[in-house]
Structure 1
């Protein structure tokens, strides 16, 4: 992030613009929505700018910008549509302490003006750091369509009521009150009885929420999916949005954690195969402690919590503590991995079943029906199998598996850093050693990419073996 988004207080402060053409007009249309004092310096300013000056919306000086003109200005726009003149005035403004924007010159600007969705006092700023203005405009158009025109009115009335809502405890209780007002009660009152009904509606709503008994906490056991945030389910997204506390595994993608509320407490409990982490008992205690304190807790697990997620242990602990819970399933890594190689886990005439195995549980591995799995056409998805690859290889070959059985290992499935290692059973251990995989990896036994030869350039050639 090269530009940090903030909302600057400009009420009663000075913003200066140098330029009087189309570039200046475009900026002024936006600046005139603020409560700042706008000063414009331009020779031969456009009629629209003259009209704004005549109506008292801005101050206009019909001359070139010069030293001293940005005195006490917080922002300065160089909009002369002339590179040399813009550089001259920008240097003066910067020396005089103003933050400088040179229109259509991202590299020399100290700040940028984002695309804005205006529902005053609700304001949404959209920036792409100059990389994709068309994308910013598309997002703006989408938001303009989705956001109610009365949202600003609801917010203005609600803002004056905020001090009264401090009677409710910080956190969940206040969020529930405002959600009720903005998305249900307030909207309905405005549509039915107009603006005058909003204040009494707020008074009545606050009284109702104050009289409600304290609600107990709750735990959502949520699957974060394989890593791509677009594969997060809508239900999981809503749970994150409502969470007071997020207890997450180390494999959960940072982009998904970004979707949690800024006020939420984020607790990293590790749980990565063979690495340091909190014990399961410590995790159970965290979930219970925060839920019993009235928090909405999201236990965020990579992939799907019902597959090698130690879900039952957490449910048993929550039940024993009389804490309510809900499972929100996610897309498991096997589904993302097999999709990434254009294959299917099952196929008519090839295999009518698929096994999910974990390489982290050596005892469980020792108890597998290796002879059945070694038969031609069988398919297995092996989670956390990097360190146990040679054990898997030996067991399968000992029970008659063909040495040339295809093996595909997908590291960081669904993420931009995804790698595909294609090999055969007899070379599995050596292939993984040579590949030096560092991210989470899933091994697909019995499957090769559908277009293996066409995709060969995407594989690590050092470990490609067919």
Structure 2
């Protein structure tokens, strides 16, 4: 993010615009919707600028801007439609540490003006870093269509009612009150009886909220998928947005965590193999603590919580504590890894079974039915297998597996930093010794990248010979 979005208070604040021609008109139309004290400088004002000045909406000086005209202003626009003149006046602005915008000159501007959807006091600002104005306009249109024209009226009435609503405790109960007002009862009341009906509705809603017990806490044991936020299920996305507390594993990607509410408590409870980790009992206790306080808790796990997620231990702990919970499945990393190499996990005539394995468990390296896995045509996805790769290869070869069986390792499946390695069973241990894989990795036994999948950046085993 190059430009950080902020909302500047312009009430009775001085804003200077250098330029009084058509180039300045578009910015002035936007500024006139604020409460700013607008000063315009330009030697040849167009008619609409003169009309605004005659109506007292702006202060117009019919000459070029000079050094002493920019002091004590909050924002400064160079809108002369003349590169040399814009550069001259922008230098004046920067000389007095003035935030300066040069119209249609992104690189030399210190701030930009976004596309705006105005439902005063609700304002939506849309920016594309100057990369795609047409995209900003399209988004603006879509947002305008989704926000009712009377939203500003409701927001102003709600704003005046906030001191009364502060009688509700912070958190979920207060959020539920405002959600009922803005998204249900408020719009209906406004359509039915105008502002008076809205005020009556607010009073009724508050009485109900004050006399209703707060909802009990609940835990959602939820899968975050392999990492791409677009692979998050719609249900998971909605619950994440509503959560009071998010307790997540270390493997959950940052873009997914960004979807949580800013006010939510977010706690990482990393469980790193062969390193410092949270104890499962401490994670259980944290979930129970927050749910007992009436919080909506999301226990967020990478992939699908029902696959190697220690789900039973958490369900047992919640059940014993009397805490209600739900399980929200996610897309498991094996599916994402197979998709990334253009392969299916099952194929008629190749394999009638597919195994999901773990490289190690609580007792160390995990044992499996090696003889069945070693058969020709077998396919499997091996989780947590990076450190166990030499053990896994050794057991399979010992039980008759062909050393040429294809192996694909997919690190950070579905994410922007996804990395794919293609090798064979015999070469797997040496390859894993030579590469540094910091992210979560899935080892696909019996699957090679589809040859026609041009997008794959595959490192062949001979590179590591």
Structure-2-length-normalised TM-score: 0.96
Alignment of 1:162 with 2:151, yes or no, is: no
The residue aligned with 2:380 is: 380
Determine the structure 2 residue equivalent to 1:198: 198
SS of the equivalent of 1:394 reads helix
Alpha-carbon deviation of 1:19?
A: 0.8
Partner of 1:275: 275
Q: 1:440 to 1:258 in 2, by over 3 A?
A: same
What SS is found at the alignment partner of 1:426? Answer: coil
- Following superposition of structure 1 onto structure 2, how do residues 262-301 of structure 1 map, counting pairs within 5 Å? 262-301=262-301
What value does the CA root-mean-square deviation take over the aligned residues?
Answer: 1.7
Counterpart position of 2:5: 5
Query: Which residue in 2 is equivalent to 1:49?
Result: 49
| Distance apart, 1:51 and its partner CA | 1.9
* Structure 1 residues not aligned, in runs of 5+: none
Partner of 1:460: 459
Structure-2 residue corresponding to 1:119:
119
Unaligned ranges ≥5, structure 2: none
Contact 2:360–2:366 (CA<8 Å) still a contact in 1?
no
* 1:125 Cα deviation after fit: 1.1
Offset, 1:402: 1.2
Deviation string, structure 1 residues 193-241 (Cα, Å, up to 9, x no partner): 2232111110111001111012211111111111111111111111111
Kindly report which structure 2 residues correspond to 1:254-403, keeping only aligned pairs within 5 A, or say none: 254-361=254-361, 363=363, 366-403=366-403
Can you list the C-alpha shifts for 1:311-360, whole angstroms capped at 9, x where unaligned? 11101000000011111111110111111011111111111221111113
> 2:185 maps to which residue?
185
Q: Deviations over 1:70-111 (max 9, x none)?
A: 232100000111121111111222333431111122222111
Distance 1:346 1:364 in 2: 29
3-state DSSP of counterpart to 2:246: strand
Task: State the distance in 2 between where 1:199 and 1:437 align.
Answer: 60
CA distance in 2: counterparts of 1:98 and 1:150, whole angstroms: 37
Secondary structure of 2:69's match? coil
Shift of 1:452: 6.2
Normalised TM-score (structure 1): 0.96
Q: Report the Cα offset of residue 61 of structure 1.
A: 1.3
Whether the 8 Å contact between 1:119 and 1:152 is mirrored in structure 2 is yes
Q: How many residues are treated as equivalent by the alignment?
A: 465
Cα distance in structure 2, aligned partners of 1:463 and 1:263: 51
| Superposed displacement of residue 184, structure 1 | 0.9
Separation of aligned partners in 2, 1:6 and 1:137: 19
CA distance in 1, matches of 2:129, 2:454: 37
Residues 121, 455 of structure 1: alpha-carbon distance in 2 compared, 3 angstrom cutoff: closer
